């Protein structure tokens, strides 16, 4: 085993985090307040609140879900409520790109209400209404970047957002007409906010210090009306009148002392767009599934994955990761539900990084702690390494790439002093599964 004191370092670069604007820098300020205002005017709010329980209040937090993309949380991974075969990659939050989110996330929210548990449904709904709300932000509707972007989405008092007296409109009487109604509603919302952004741009640009703008509050209120329309339509179309009998259910168990003890497991039906998370005890269920013959894939952070037939899914036990303690999701590269092009939780390295190959999802690490980093059966020409990052979302994220040749298949080194997360890097021209068989990042004992 070779340590950092030897001359194995081939590439060392300090990079500006991600090619996309970080969430904290470009976030419509009053997301939670807009959601709260929409909830308050729903005619069915008491019935909906009873169905969701404590998740009903948390919907205000879940409306931030797309701004949490790629982050590492102890209770769940936000990407699990943002990506699925219908949307296998993240979509930008400004016009015109954000318009591509309306249909798939609306359909996915309907699906979650009909087939999944209230916590899972609430999170998928949160993802949808985030994009609705972003479309009503003046700087997203226009679109505008830079300093004026920050001003046009934050210079308002979020606590003042209110649409008291508004009567939410049903966007359609069936799924097809509801989707058509949603798209028309979003056109009106974007036009509303775009016009107001153009009207106040020069005034706001000339200001030397923050001055809350009534026009921006108007845009937030119109966003709340649109969200109320969307929620009213979702609940009218898909909220179960009574608890549905599960059509497929089971329980997942995993070894004790795994990372993130509150993390659930993820259950996917291969070849479909259906997925769900277990509760913290490993229980999961789907209701009203079409068909009966499914292959079920189960995955949890810090342990191995499993693929079983639907008839064998009532009790699934996940084995320790290989090697034990591996923090890389899908480190054995066997799970491929999200897209045919790559194993789940791995993506092609963006061209802006000036490296060609693959990167893992973000991994929570501790600065200065020593980690073992390695690959199994690397093919000729493959290199591997790690990217230490100070944050997944801060505007001034610091990141460092360290890359080695694969002649030594495992290295030990301490995480950078600034590191909060890491990504494993596999540098190759080949498909990932043709380059290595497994990859790992494990705390050294």
DSSP string, 228-256: HHHHHHHHHHH--SSPPPEEEEEEEE--S
Domains and CATH numbers, the chain: 11-17+350-443 (2.60.120), 31-238 (1.10.575.10), 246-317 (2.60.40.1120)
383-389 vs 315-317, strand pairing mode: unpaired
- Per-residue confidence (pLDDT) for residue 26, from 0 to 100: 52
Find, among 305, 442, 307, the residue nearest to 375 by Cα: 442
What token pair was written down for 161?
């957002």
Residue 196 sits at φ, ψ, to 5 deg, of -70, -30
Find, among 201, 173, 184, 231, the residue nearest to 41 by Cα: 231
The size of the chain, in residues, is 445
Q: Is the pTM of this model over 0.85?
A: yes
283-287 vs 246-253, strand pairing mode: antiparallel
What is the 8-class DSSP label of residue 84? Answer: B
If the chain, 445 residues long, is cut into consecutive pieces of 10 residues, what is the mean pLDDT of each piece?
38 39 58 98 98 97 96 95 98 96 99 98 99 96 91 93 98 98 98 94 92 94 99 97 88 92 94 97 96 93 93 94 95 96 95 92 96 96 95 72 92 95 96 97 92
Strand order in the sheet with 438-443: 410-414, 370-376, 438-443
E-strand spans in 301-436? 306-309, 315-317, 346-348, 357-360, 363-364, 370-376, 383-389, 399-405, 410-414, 421-427
Q: How far apart are CA 221 and CA 288, in angstroms?
A: 36
Given a contact cutoff of 8 angstroms between Cβ atoms, the answer to whether 424 and 415 are in contact is: no
Find, among 380, 387, 368, the residue nearest to 405 by Cα: 380
11-15 vs 275-277, strand pairing mode: unpaired
- Per-residue confidence (pLDDT) for residue 394, from 0 to 100: 60
- Per-residue confidence (pLDDT) for residue 396, from 0 to 100: 62
Given a contact cutoff of 8 angstroms between Cβ atoms, the answer to whether 17 and 389 are in contact is: yes
Contacts of 284 (CB under 8 A, 6+ apart): 117, 249, 250, 251, 252, 265, 267, 276, 277, 278
Find, among 376, 395, 397, 375, the residue nearest to 387 by Cα: 397
Measured from the Cβ of residue 54, the count of other Cβ atoms closer than 10 Å reads: 10
Find, among 323, 302, 221, the residue nearest to 256 by Cα: 302
What is the 8-class DSSP label of residue 410? Answer: E
Q: How far apart are CA 36 and CA 56, in angstroms?
A: 10
Sign of CA dihedral 69, 72, 74, 77: positive
Find the distance separating the first CA and the last CA of the chain, reported in whole Å: 14
- Position of tokens 């600034």? 418
Contacts of 36 (CB under 8 A, 6+ apart): 60, 161
Distance from chain centroid for Cα 274: 16
- Per-residue confidence (pLDDT) for residue 241, from 0 to 100: 84
């Amino acid at each position: 085993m070779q340590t950092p004191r030897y001359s194995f370092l081939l590439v060392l670069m300090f990079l500006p985090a991600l090619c996309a604007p970080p969430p904290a820098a470009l976030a419509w300020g009053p997301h939670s307040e807009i959601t709260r205002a929409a909830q308050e005017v729903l005619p069915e709010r008491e019935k909906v609140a009873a169905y969701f329980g404590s998740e009903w209040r948390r919907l205000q937090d879940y409306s931030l879900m797309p701004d949490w993309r790629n982050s590492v949380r102890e209770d769940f991974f936000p990407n699990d409520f943002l990506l699925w075969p219908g949307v296998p990659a993240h979509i930008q939050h400004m016009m015109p790109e954000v318009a591509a989110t309306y249909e798939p996330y609306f359909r996915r929210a309907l699906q979650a209400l009909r087939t999944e548990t209230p916590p899972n449904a609430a999170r998928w709904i949160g993802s949808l209404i985030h994009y609705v709300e972003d479309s009503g932000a003046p700087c997203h509707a226009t679109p505008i970047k830079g300093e004026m972007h920050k001003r046009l989405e934050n210079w308002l008092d979020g606590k003042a957002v209110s649409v008291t007296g508004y009567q939410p409109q049903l966007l359609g009487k069936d799924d097809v007409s509801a989707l058509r109604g949603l798209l028309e509603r979003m056109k009106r919302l974007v036009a509303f906010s775009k016009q107001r952004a153009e009207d106040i741009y020069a005034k706001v640009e000339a200001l030397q210090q923050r001055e809350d703008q009534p026009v921006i509050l108007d845009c937030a209120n119109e966003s709340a009306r649109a969200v109320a329309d969307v929620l009213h339509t979702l609940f009218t179309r898909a909220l179960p009148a009574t608890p549905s009998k599960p059509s497929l259910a089971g329980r997942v168990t995993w070894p004790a002392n795994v990372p993130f003890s509150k993390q659930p497991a993820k259950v996917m039906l291969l070849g479909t767009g259906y997925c769900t998370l277990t509760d913290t005890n490993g229980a999961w269920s789907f209701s009203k599934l079409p068909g009966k013959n499914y292959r079920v894939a189960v995955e949890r952070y810090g342990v191995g994955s499993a693929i079983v037939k639907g008839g064998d899914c009532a009790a699934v036990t996940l084995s320790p990761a290989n090697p034990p303690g591996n923090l890389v999701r899908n480190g054995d590269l066997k799970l491929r539900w999200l897209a045919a092009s790559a194993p789940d939780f791995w993506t092609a390295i963006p061209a802006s990084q000036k490296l060609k190959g693959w990167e893992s999802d973000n991994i929570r690490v501790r600065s200065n702690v020593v980690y073992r980093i390695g690959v199994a059966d690397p093919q000729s020409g493959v290199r591997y390494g790690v990217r230490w990052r100070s944050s997944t979302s801060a505007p001034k994220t610091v990141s460092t790439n360290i890359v080695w040749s694969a002649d030594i298949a495992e290295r030990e080194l301490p995480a950078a002093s600034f590191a909060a997360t890491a990504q494993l890097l596999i540098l190759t021209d080949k498909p990932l599964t043709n380059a290595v068989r497994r990859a790992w990042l494990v705390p050294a004992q």
